[in-house]
Amino acid sequence: MKLKTFLIFLFLGILTVIFALSSGVIKINPLITLKILTNFIVNHNLFDITWNQNLEIILLKLRLPRIFLAFLVGGGLSLVGVLMQALTKNSLADPYILGVSSGASTGAVLSLIVGLNIGGLGTPFMAFLGAIIAAILVFRIANIGGNYSSTKLVLTGIAISSMFSSITTFITFSAQNGDLYTALFWIVGSLSGAKWSSIYLLTALLASVFGITMFFHRELDILLFGEESSKILGVNTNRIRIIIILTSTLLTGVLVSISGVIGFIGLIIPHIARKLTSSKHRILIPVSIFLGGFFLTLADTFSRVVMAPNELPVGIVTSFLGAPFFLWIMKKSIYNFNK
């Protein structure tokens, strides 16, 4: 990524953070927000405290971890979208459309409500297990009869997604009243439960997946030319396919276990990133992560203020924006990844 592009994204990121921190039921002057944030970062009162110190609690204890989580979840979902579109060579592929998110949601709900917690490894493990089962089902069914196609893969993904969503809904209706809100959290997607412990885990995982995918960025570029061409050019397609599936499902499982199902980000953001920059994965991957983080941060900010003092789940906002985008892509007869 060029220095100029990086500085532009950095500037936009700072503006996004200040805007998100300042917005909410209690509105805060952006200048005061900047002063509080500066004092917090340098761990010293560079600016004299002339504001109510309760504002610091609101900014640093409530809103800041939520913004961090929104950026990580948005960036992670965008990265998974890039990987799945490279794997399937289909512009409609993302963890939501292919049923991976729904499978992860079912695993998370089983862990939390039914108490099914294999090996005592917690909700993230169950979410990952649900995601990997969904991914295996989608790719296996789409390849039945040897008539594999990208269209068949997407249609299979939609069917599997509906199946897992039905299972999750059944579990929800079977839950006790005290567990009902918890189940709804996973179905609609929300960032209201942001915790620093989750942020640390997600940061480490996202950084690891980012490093792995950047290491194979040339292979991902070649993969877009088709399997036969990739083999001729020396790419081990089976190895790349396994790496993409494992890293994508692991990341999706952890994301869903923390935030619930937030749809369409993995579909929308990679397309925007390609239009703004390039289809080369060396550039596309970091740009998609940045844009996904910005997008979900702004969407979550909107969800906090549009019905204040009540809160609209952010998954509803992303679905409202993503569904028309999905239909627009379907209307296009051709999408050129290598443009």
> Contact at 8 Å (CB) between 187 and 255?
no
Read off the pTM. Answer: 0.87
pLDDT of res. 165: 87
Please state the rounded mean pLDDT for residues 283-300: 93
3-state secondary structure of 1: coil
pLDDT of res. 92: 73
Q: Is the pLDDT of residue 97 over 70?
A: yes
Please state the rounded mean pLDDT for residues 287-306: 92
DSSP at 61: I
Phi, psi of 233 (to 5 degrees): -85, 5
Q: Average model confidence (pLDDT) for the chain?
A: 83
> Contact at 8 Å (CB) between 271 and 84?
no
Encoded tokens for 113: 């409500």
Q: If pLDDT is split at 50, 70 and 90, which confidence band does 71 have?
A: very high
Residues 116-156: tens digit of each pLDDT: 655 556 778 888 888 889 988 988 888 777 666 667 777 88
11 C-beta neighbours (distance < 10 Å), count: 10
> Contact at 8 Å (CB) between 271 and 324?
no
Residues 304-333: tens digit of each pLDDT: 988 878 888 888 888 888 778 777 776 764
3-state secondary structure of 53: coil
Q: Is the pLDDT of residue 80 over 90?
A: yes
3-state secondary structure of 164: helix
Encoded tokens for 296: 């979900």
Residues 204-261: tens digit of each pLDDT: 999 999 999 999 988 888 888 777 777 787 778 788 888 888 898 889 888 988 888 8
